[in-house]
Amino acid sequence: MSQRVTFTVNGYERTVELEGWERLIDVLRETLSLTGTKRGCDDASCGACVVVIDGEAKKSCVYPAKKIDGKEVLTIEGMADGMTLHPIQQALIDSGAVQCGYCIPGIVMELYALFNKKPDASEEEVVDALSLHLCRCTGYEAILEGALLARERMAAASVK
Amino acid sequence: MKFKYVGKSIPRPDAVNKATGKVRFLDDIRIPGMLHAAFLRPEYAHAKILSIDTSGAETMPGVRKVVTGKDISFRYGDNIMDRIPLAINKVRYIGEPVAAVVAETLHQARQAVKKIKAEYEPLPVYVDARDALKEGAALIHEESGEFDHLPGLEPVAGTNIANRYVLEKGDVEKGFGEADVILEGEFNYPFGSCAALEPHGSVAWFHEDGSIETWSSSICPFIVREDLARVYGLPISKVRVHIPEVGGCFGYKSDVTIEQTVAYVASFVPGHPVKWVATRKEDLLSTLIGHGIRTIMKIGAKKDGTLTAMKTTLLHSTGAAVDTGIHVLIASTHNSTGAYEFPNCYLEGISVYTNTPPVGAYRGYGHQESQFATERMMDLLARKLEMDPFELREKNYLGPGKFTSLGEKLWKTNGDVKKCAGIVREIVFSKPKAVNEDDKYYYGRGFAALMKSPKGAPFSSKGCYLKFNVDGSVTINMGGAEVGQGLRTVVSQVAAEVLKIAPERISVYTEIDTQFSPWEWQTIGSMFTIQGGRAVIRAAEKAIDKLKGIASQALRVDVDMLEYGGDYIFLRSDPSVRVSVPDVARGYTYDDGVTIGEVVQTTADARLPRYSNPDKKGMGTMGVTYTFGAQACEIRIEKETGKIFIDHFVSCFDVGRVINPKQIRGQVAGGVMMAIGATLYEELKFKEDGKAVNPHFSKYGFPTIKEAPGKQTIEFVETPGEIGPFGARGIGEHPVIGVAPSILNAIYDATGIDFYDIPITEDKMKKALAEKKD
Ligand code: FES
Ligand code: FES
């Protein structure tokens, strides 16, 4: 039974037909070809697929696509402003957090949701948010450093 | 020597496109007309296949083809041809592909797989090499002994022994005779997964013109190409392999793993690309897994701590195919002597077929498994000798003039383990421990030294193609797979240094395509910087020679009067007589249009010098490049829960030359974390019947940021090596080697409890603490 949902992705309105079984990640990656959102696991435990839905970081691999109707979705593709990267992206690059890069889109989106809700999130809160994301390459050190650097830069520029 | 670009934290050229999510990983590939595959996996880890009924699947929506293994007539394998793309009459491990559905969408393929009905007759299952070796054990491969294999491998027909490697150095019995103290121990490094965040996958496309095109998240495009060409009877040139961005490898995407399976399935739907990407469960059970090595070690020493002999037996539960695991065990066996000189050795490694997923490369390539034993044994031996463990180690470290187990003589240029150990010791052990315990915690410190040999092959070259563009910028193309380790940055820095131009003017290849990329054996063994860097230097020097040659004609002067300066080629005695690089980059054109010289583009390659196959005694040269190091930790164990906190982890390696400080720190920090995972949390568990207990991330024990060490101190010694660019040595795998023993040595220091196997989970620690109390 097909069903239709209308929602915005990175500011643009999209309408897609669903069969019903789809998760949001399937719609983003397969229907809309927004392949920046990554899949790393099959039991909602790696965080690679995190996107921002109405301001909240959500795992798109378990988010039923049916429920996306009327919502506002932000993905990694919506983060840079033309040639200017979002400060979170830039900070992760500057701290050396990008190795293979597979975990990075999910982490950027997680931090985006966090810092928008709480620009002065404590280090503990940053660690809590990052603990929902697995990274095999970095040992997390540079990721934390990049997250804190982003918090600092965003506060200084009061970026949204 | 002063460097302009080497030794600087130049930003990664690929970071921006990764941070925007725009780089293309395997699963991001979209080709018009692409079909999708899904696989049926068995219900038993060892069983005869009685029947497979595919009729229900064939009529499902979107299904184009259902494929089983019944008509397969070929085998494959890099080292020993014991691999098949789909199960034929039997299944041998729980993740094995039994049948495949090709459909228009992945969802359709998966739905149809559920309709395949397979019937099995279960056979005895062996998860552990010790069981597979028992008298009368059922054979996992009845045909073992008949498989084609590389020279020097020795499968024992009629048993589950796939290979026995023996290394004899000196006279081990005489060595033990000279010993005052003999110590024995048994250690186990259980199964684990490299578990890169990106699951492995492949796309295969049989074109109607007879050629094959494939994509894989592999680090071995040229091996995949050769193997596919052999199987399908094509000239190698008719197989084209692309490697997109790879989301982490750590070993298990090497050799030929899933590519043959996807290609076999795709061969039934010629004209259509077929994609398959592992689910996480499949990535954990149906690609390659790691470790599974049990080390039984005996060491003899004199009263003063001089080591006299080592005997080790390594039992490897290598899985249902040993092809890729065989060399892991060989490396594990001859490196079981660790960072020490043993004059007499008998080192034996037995690769055994088991009903578990095939073991392959895992960052560290056998070193951490056997040196886990060695470094625990050094602490235990020191205790027995009532000697300071640092002094015991110091007395026996390998170094200039000493011989490795392989009989290879070491030189100063092989690096300085003593210096690394000294630095680590100073950081962690220079002051006495503040407290041994308080109300809540036990406190401990532990140390391990380490050594890693390269893993090459006699022909293990890396190629480089370098081209000067007409504006004086440079394009470099190579066949090394970037998996996150940062080789593109290294290439640009090394080239910039030699060519005397800024790295921003050098563009380094992104994806690999065997149609265009220079040949490379495979990107393994922590060797890209060493060999690839040397190839870059060679290509760059050739290019400079060409530029000078053309300039000598343009300036009408002998070539040896000229200097190359990056922007210009000029007369040494009068730099104002010069020609710009762009003016000679594609030959020099006179005012009348007549052009002389050639386009400045060069190729070069580099291999490990004098790398040899092992001789009859298992000895040989590894190509003169070793990396030594030392690691230590300060830990805290919560009394109530048994939880282990790594407060401080310290590593020091003699890397010869640091090319990029930020990148090398990232490599080490990540490696240490990965091995902390193996030491405290991770294990891929199988029940006695071979079924997987925890093939998902939520149960596997993958560590998060909360398990990261409180602090990592990472230091480097720079004793230049002979081969690598500017003296650099390999570092990719080394950070994992000393982690487990240093933590287990620290656990003893904290609690007086000796462990011999990992992981030391919270529960295990808690239980051991309770037992100790009783
Ligand atoms: S893909 Fe791993 S949490 Fe969604
Ligand atoms: S950078 Fe590779 S998984 Fe995080």
Distance in Å, CA B25 to ligand 1 centroid: 16
Q: Cα separation of A113 and A135, whole Å?
A: 19
Over 80: is that where the pLDDT of A125 sits? yes
Tokens read off for B267: 């061969």
Distance in Å, CA A101 to ligand 2 centroid: 5
pLDDT tens per residue, range B248-307: 999 999 989 899 999 999 999 999 999 999 999 999 999 999 999 999 999 999 999 999
Which residue from B minimizes the CA distance to A46? B697
Same-domain status, B299 and B427: yes
Average per-residue pLDDT for chain B: 96
pLDDT on residue B368:
98
Residues of A in contact with B199 (CB under 8 A): 39-40
CB of A136 sitting under 6 A from ligand 2: yes
Same-domain status, B736 and B637: yes
Name the amino acid, one letter, at B708. Answer: A
CB of B15 sitting under 6 A from ligand 2: no
* CA neighbor of B454 nearest in space, from B151, B164, B723: B723
Shortest CA gap A137–chain B (Å)? 5
Interface test with A, best of B26, B114, B197 (most A CBs within 10 A): B197
CATH of the domain at B728: 3.30.365.10
How many beta-carbon pairs below 8 A join chains A and B?
173
pLDDT on residue B773:
85
Residue B242 pairs in a beta bridge with: B215, B513
pLDDT tens per residue, range B335-354: 999 999 999 999 999 999 99
Domains of chain A listed by start with CATH number: 3-78 (3.10.20.30), 87-157 (1.10.150.120)
pLDDT on residue B623:
63
SS3 letters across B613-675: CCCCCCCCCCCCCCEEEEEEEEEEEECCCCCEEEEEEEEEEECCCCCCHHHHHHHHHHHHHHH
The ipTM value here is 0.98
Of the listed ligands, the closest to the CA of A58 is 1
Distance in Å, CA B94 to ligand 2 centroid: 28
SS3 content of chain B, % helix, strand, coil (to 5): 30, 25, 45
Average pLDDT over residues B714-739: 95
Number of the ligand 2 atom closest to the C-alpha atom of B197: 3
Q: Cα separation of B645 and B650, whole Å?
A: 14
Cβ-defined contact of B21 to A75 (cutoff 8 Å): yes
Q: Cα separation of B265 and B356, whole Å?
A: 23
Over 80: is that where the pLDDT of B531 sits? yes
pLDDT on residue A84:
97
Q: Is residue B178 part of a domain?
A: no
Cβ-defined contact of B704 to A133 (cutoff 8 Å): yes
Domain limit, last residue, from B586, B607, B628: B607
Same-domain status, B521 and B582: yes
Same-domain status, B336 and B372: yes
Residue B83's pLDDT band, with cuts at 50, 70 and 90, is very high
Q: Is residue B121 part of a domain?
A: no
Residue B157 pairs in a beta bridge with: none
Q: Name the packing angle between helices A141-157 and A87-94 (round to 10°).
A: 140
Letter string b/e over residues B640-667, b meaning 16 or more CB atoms within 10 A of that residue's CB = eebbbbbebbbbbbbbbbbbbebbbbbb
Q: Cα separation of B653 and B731, whole Å?
A: 8
Cβ-defined contact of B670 to A108 (cutoff 8 Å): no
Strands A3-9 and A72-74, by their bridges, are parallel
Over 70: is that where the pLDDT of B768 sits? yes
Same-domain status, B262 and B316: no
Cβ-defined contact of A101 to B19 (cutoff 8 Å): yes
Cβ-defined contact of A140 to B705 (cutoff 8 Å): yes
Same-domain status, B524 and B504: yes
Q: Name the packing angle between helices A141-157 and B661-676 (round to 10°).
A: 120
Q: Is residue B53 part of a domain?
A: yes
Which residue from A minimizes the CA distance to B280? A41
Q: Is residue B176 part of a domain?
A: no
Domain limit, last residue, from B557, B584, B607: B607
Who's near B85: CB < 8 A, 6+ residues apart? B69, B72, B76, B97, B260, B261, B263, B264, B265
Q: Nearest 5 degrees, angle CA A124-CA A126-CA A128?
A: 70
pLDDT tens per residue, range A91-102: 999 999 999 999
Q: Is residue B7 part of a domain?
A: no
Residue B626's pLDDT band, with cuts at 50, 70 and 90, is confident
Over 70: is that where the pLDDT of B674 sits? yes
Residues of B in contact with A36 (CB under 8 A): 20-22
Same-domain status, B266 and B304: no
- Classify residue B575 by burial, with Cβ atoms within 10 Å: 0-12, 13-18, 19+: exposed
Shortest CA gap A148–chain B (Å)? 14
Among the residue ranges A14-18, B75-79, B767-771, the one predicted with the least confidence is B75-79
Average pLDDT over residues A133-142: 98
Mutate to test the pocket of ligand 1, among A28, A39, A51 (most ligand atoms within 8 A of CB): A39
Same-domain status, B628 and B601: no
Look at ligand 2, atom 2, and give the residue with the nearest C-alpha. A100
Q: Is residue B4 part of a domain?
A: no
State the residue range of the domain holding B494. Answer: 461-607
Do the beta carbons of residue A138 and residue B669 sit within 8 Å? yes
Who's near B592: CB < 8 A, 6+ residues apart? none
Site residues for ligand 1, CB cut-off 6 Å: A 39-41, 44-49, 59, 61
Residue B526's pLDDT band, with cuts at 50, 70 and 90, is confident
pLDDT tens per residue, range B535-569: 999 999 999 999 999 999 999 999 999 999 999 99
In this structure, which long-range contacts are made by residues B233-239, counting pairs with CB atoms below 8 Å and at least 24 apart in sequence?
B234/B210, B238/B210, B238/B211, B238/B212, B239/B211, B239/B212, B239/B213, B239/B214, B239/B514
Same-domain status, B489 and B579: yes
**DSSP per-residue string spanning B90-109:** EE-STT---EEEEESSHHHH
Over 80: is that where the pLDDT of A17 sits? yes
Same-domain status, B584 and B646: no
Which residue from B minimizes the CA distance to A137? B670
Residue B460's pLDDT band, with cuts at 50, 70 and 90, is confident
Over 70: is that where the pLDDT of A159 sits? no
Residue B54's pLDDT band, with cuts at 50, 70 and 90, is very high
Q: How many domains does chain B have?
A: 3
Distance in Å, CA B207 to ligand 1 centroid: 34
Same-domain status, B440 and B305: yes
Q: Is residue B146 part of a domain?
A: no
Cβ-defined contact of B19 to A92 (cutoff 8 Å): yes
DSSP character at residue B83: B
Domain limit, last residue, from B607, B628, B660: B607
pLDDT tens per residue, range B390-433: 999 999 999 999 999 999 999 999 999 999 999 999 999 999 99
Do the beta carbons of residue B289 and residue B250 sit within 8 Å? no
pLDDT on residue B731:
92
The neighbour count for residue B203, using CB atoms within 10 Å, is 29
pLDDT on residue B19:
98
Residue A1's pLDDT band, with cuts at 50, 70 and 90, is low
pLDDT on residue B624:
59
Strands B35-40 and B273-277, by their bridges, are parallel
Number of the ligand 1 atom closest to the C-alpha atom of B697: 2
Average pLDDT over residues B21-36: 97
Residue B757's pLDDT band, with cuts at 50, 70 and 90, is very high
pLDDT on residue B157:
92
CATH of the domain at B84: 3.90.1170.50
Name the amino acid, one letter, at B246. Answer: V
Q: Is residue B634 part of a domain?
A: yes
Distance in Å, CA A23 to ligand 2 centroid: 24
Cβ-defined contact of B708 to A79 (cutoff 8 Å): no
Tokens read off for B367: 């070193």
Same-domain status, B700 and B659: yes
pLDDT tens per residue, range B308-339: 999 999 999 999 999 999 999 999 999 999 99
CB of A135 sitting under 6 A from ligand 2: yes
Type and span of the H or E element at B462:
strand B462-468
Name the amino acid, one letter, at B460. Answer: S
CA–chain centroid gap for B273, Å, is 29
Residues of B in contact with A29 (CB under 8 A): 27
Interface test with A, best of B31, B668, B705 (most A CBs within 10 A): B705
Distance in Å, CA B732 to ligand 2 centroid: 15
Cβ-defined contact of B666 to A142 (cutoff 8 Å): yes
Shortest CA gap B443–chain A (Å)? 23
Look at ligand 2, atom 4, and give the residue with the nearest C-alpha. A135
